[in-house]
Amino acid sequence: MVISSSGQHAALLALDWGSSGLRAFLIDAQGQTLASRSSAMGASVMDGKPQAYAQALEQIAGDWLQAQPQLPLPLLACGMVGAKHGWREAPYVDCPASEADLAASSVEVAFGVGQHLRILPGLRYQPQGMPPDVMRGEETQLFGALALHPGLAEAACVVMPGTHSKWAELRDAKVRGFATQMTGELFALLRQHSVLGRLMPEPEAATDSSAFLAGVRAARDAGHLGLGHQLFAVRSLGLTEQLPASGLADYMSGLLIGHELRAGLAWRTAHGLGLAPLLLIGEPELCARYEQGLNVFDGVVALRLDNTAPTGLWRLAQSAGWLQLSH
Amino acid sequence: MVISSSGQHAALLALDWGSSGLRAFLIDAQGQTLASRSSAMGASVMDGKPQAYAQALEQIAGDWLQAQPQLPLPLLACGMVGAKHGWREAPYVDCPASEADLAASSVEVAFGVGQHLRILPGLRYQPQGMPPDVMRGEETQLFGALALHPGLAEAACVVMPGTHSKWAELRDAKVRGFATQMTGELFALLRQHSVLGRLMPEPEAATDSSAFLAGVRAARDAGHLGLGHQLFAVRSLGLTEQLPASGLADYMSGLLIGHELRAGLAWRTAHGLGLAPLLLIGEPELCARYEQGLNVFDGVVALRLDNTAPTGLWRLAQSAGWLQLSH
């Protein structure tokens, strides 16, 4: 049995297994994280090969698993590991979706000597007459936030900034719908490959907060001018030296995040969440940037949380009766 | 003296010298193109080196220039060759700008044995309280369109689709203002480097016109949903097989062009050009795509023109008295 230095017993090995990385958490029956590790072995480097996944799991948690061969630790994963080209596909569950809906649609994959990993599905949201939207991993963060703050179950708007930011509607302890914004990916593409990136100094200068806020304000006040027009201002402001080169990346970040906030806040209102709490979940520095941006729009952040995936994995395992009982 | 097969005399060597290519035209006193050539020696491969420009010019037009050493042919260029990191900088002229304003701000650079190239400046537009916008080369196309269709001098809205599309306002034979849209560059970035491109078949399948129009309609009906959200639908429509992989690139093209048209048509109205003729200038296949898209918005294209830069160069040379007089 795996026991932490404080004498607590592990009840779950939880895996947050996304495209770009793998994080493993040993969690006790009460939801406390006893130990955590991370590796770069994300789904995007696995090339869809089962043995590559099994090897990555062995590398990150082999010693934890060998510590108790008689009474194997339950393993539960969320994220791209369950995608079509992941380890095993856990097909999307449609919104609105509860904890129980996710648990009921999980799949299992065998590895090592008689061991099993359970993989949670992602969510699909199909608004009337519009294209579908999808998430994998963020649904688990949403249930983690609910576990930490049960008061959010009635209604909340949750923003999860990142490569593909998600804006989600929580209602009656279910995920009722969500909208993706490609903000982080667009920033990376434009920074690395576009004509705009060429004017930006390398390596990245210190953050220019006033340039960031100028970009957010420009997005807020864009009127009929779209993102495709405003982005070109990064170049023209640089060429005409109306903005120093050191501020161009932050101005562009402000434009992109500002357009996300503008669309997301309108989405929140359209979903009747204007008076519900507004949450930010994710990497603290990025969430702080979003909170600064929301200030420009008079948006009030009720709560900022770091990655709630481990708590979500524990909560789903607990509800489904998958935790290892202590003795 | 350079004489065409039909016996006409060249009066100008006109160079349309952009980032990605160089086009050279021998033009007679009446504006007829006698011969044309193109090369990939655009400003972006010159690394700012004067001798590289001189060499590219020699390669593309050396024989034309040597044909009449006693009475050298006048040379006039537009485009990125006059940018800060071009052959010689021709600083931007502010809008509103006339033909005469452009001619007055041209610069000269010497090359070879006593030869000279005149380079036209680009335009800068600084709307009140907003970032500036810039163009280099398109201003010459605008004056070319005016030369071909003098009726447009009173008022016209001109769209020049491309990597950085331009929407321009013509008034009283001047360029009064313009707005850039990064549509072409965004398409290329997303196609080549993003998660969206990964679902698209390689090599490019035949054009899927219905997928393109679906993308344009989605952009038209986007409401508060921004481009950063709608682009993600390219992925979700692919993952959920609601759109065949062969249509994803066209759907994305429709979304991007649709957002440009939506913003551009609102810009046109805001500039009081709702009743003025709407022109498309550029590569015929791309202009046809824009015209299809404009149909979705009930936009009526008055005129479609191929590259008018050579005519613009001739017109500016004629007005400024730079053409070689025949004898």
Burial B251-287 (b: 16+ CB within 10 A, else e): bbbbbbbbbbbbbbbebbeebebeebbbbbbbeeebb
Q: Over 90: is that where the pLDDT of A123 sits?
A: yes
What percent of chain A has a predicted confidence (pLDDT) above 70? 95
What's residue B4's pLDDT?
A: 52
Residue B20's Cα: distance from chain center in Å? 12
Nearest Cα to B173, choosing from B99, B259, B85?
B99
Question: Smallest CA–CA separation between B133 and chain A, in Å?
Answer: 6
What's residue A22's pLDDT?
A: 97
Residue A233 pLDDT grade (very low, low, confident, very high; cuts 50, 70, 90):
very high
Q: What is the mean pLDDT of residues A99-124?
A: 95
pLDDT in tens, A169-189: 999 999 999 999 999 999 999
What's residue B163's pLDDT?
A: 95
pLDDT in tens, B256-266: 999 999 999 99
Which tokens in the block code for residue B9?
Answer: 């005399």
CB contact under 8 A, A134 and B236: yes
β-partners of residue B55 are none
The answer to whether A309 touches A140, Cβ cutoff 8 Å, is: yes
Q: What's the farthest any 2 CA atoms get from each other in chain B?
A: 71
Residue A224 pLDDT grade (very low, low, confident, very high; cuts 50, 70, 90):
confident
Contacts of A230 in chain B (CB under 8 A): 131
Q: What is the mean pLDDT of residues A102-114?
A: 94
Mean of the per-residue pLDDT values of chain A: 94
CA distance B318 to B323: 6
DSSP state at residue A247:
G
CB contact under 8 A, B164 and A239: no
Question: Smallest CA–CA separation between B179 and chain A, in Å?
Answer: 7
CA distance B13 to A324: 83
Nearest Cα to B125, choosing from B88, B167, B153, B82?
B167
DSSP state at residue B128:
T
CB contact under 8 A, A181 and B262: no
Question: Smallest CA–CA separation between A312 and chain B, in Å?
Answer: 24
Q: What is the mean pLDDT of residues B240-246?
A: 94
R_g over Cα of chain B: 21
Contacts of A242 in chain B (CB under 8 A): 131-132
pLDDT in tens, B79-131: 999 999 899 999 999 999 999 999 999 999 999 888 999 999 999 999 999 99
pLDDT in tens, A242-271: 999 999 999 999 999 999 999 999 999 999
Contacts of A189 in chain B (CB under 8 A): 189-190, 193-194
Distances (CA, A) of A245 to A196, B19, B216: 11, 21, 35
Q: Over 80: is that where the pLDDT of B300 sits?
A: yes
Mutate to test the interface with B, among A20, A85, A125, A229 (most CBs of B within 10 A): A229
Q: What is the mean pLDDT of residues B297-325?
A: 94
One-letter amino acid identity for B58?
E
Residues A264, A269, A272: CA angle, nearest 5 degrees: 130
Q: What is the mean pLDDT of residues A79-104?
A: 97
Q: Over 90: is that where the pLDDT of A31 sits?
A: yes
Q: Over 70: is that where the pLDDT of B2 sits?
A: no
What's residue A272's pLDDT?
A: 97
Among B230, B232, B263, select the one facing A164 at the smallest CB separation: B232
Q: Over 80: is that where the pLDDT of A321 sits?
A: yes
pLDDT in tens, A264-316: 999 999 999 999 999 999 999 999 999 999 999 998 999 999 999 999 999 99
What's residue B311's pLDDT?
A: 98
Q: What is the mean pLDDT of residues B180-202?
A: 95
Question: Smallest CA–CA separation between A295 and chain B, in Å?
Answer: 20
ipTM computed for the complex: 0.93
CB contact under 8 A, A134 and B180: no
pLDDT in tens, A45-69: 998 899 999 999 999 999 998 876 5
- Between B132 and A6, residue with greater pLDDT: B132
What's residue A72's pLDDT?
A: 80
List helix spans (H) across chain A: 50-66, 99-104, 138-148, 183-193, 209-220, 227-230, 232-239, 248-270, 284-296, 309-320
Nearest Cα to B235, choosing from A213, A122, A245, A176?
A122
CA distance B142 to A210: 37
Q: Over 60: is that where the pLDDT of B7 sits?
A: no
Which residues have a Cβ under 8 Å from the Cβ of A153 and sit 6 or more positions away? A146, A170, A172, A173
Residue B256: closest C-alpha in chain A: A228
Residues A102, A106, A108: CA angle, nearest 5 degrees: 165
Question: Smallest CA–CA separation between A259 and chain B, in Å?
Answer: 7
Residue A256: closest C-alpha in chain B: B228
Residue B204 pLDDT grade (very low, low, confident, very high; cuts 50, 70, 90):
low
Q: Over 70: is that where the pLDDT of B227 sits?
A: yes
pLDDT in tens, B150-182: 999 999 999 999 999 999 999 999 999 999 999
Among A236, A240, A263, select the one facing B228 at the smallest CB separation: A263
R_g over Cα of chain A: 21
β-partners of residue B13 are B26, B75
Which tokens in the block code for residue B196?
Answer: 């969206």
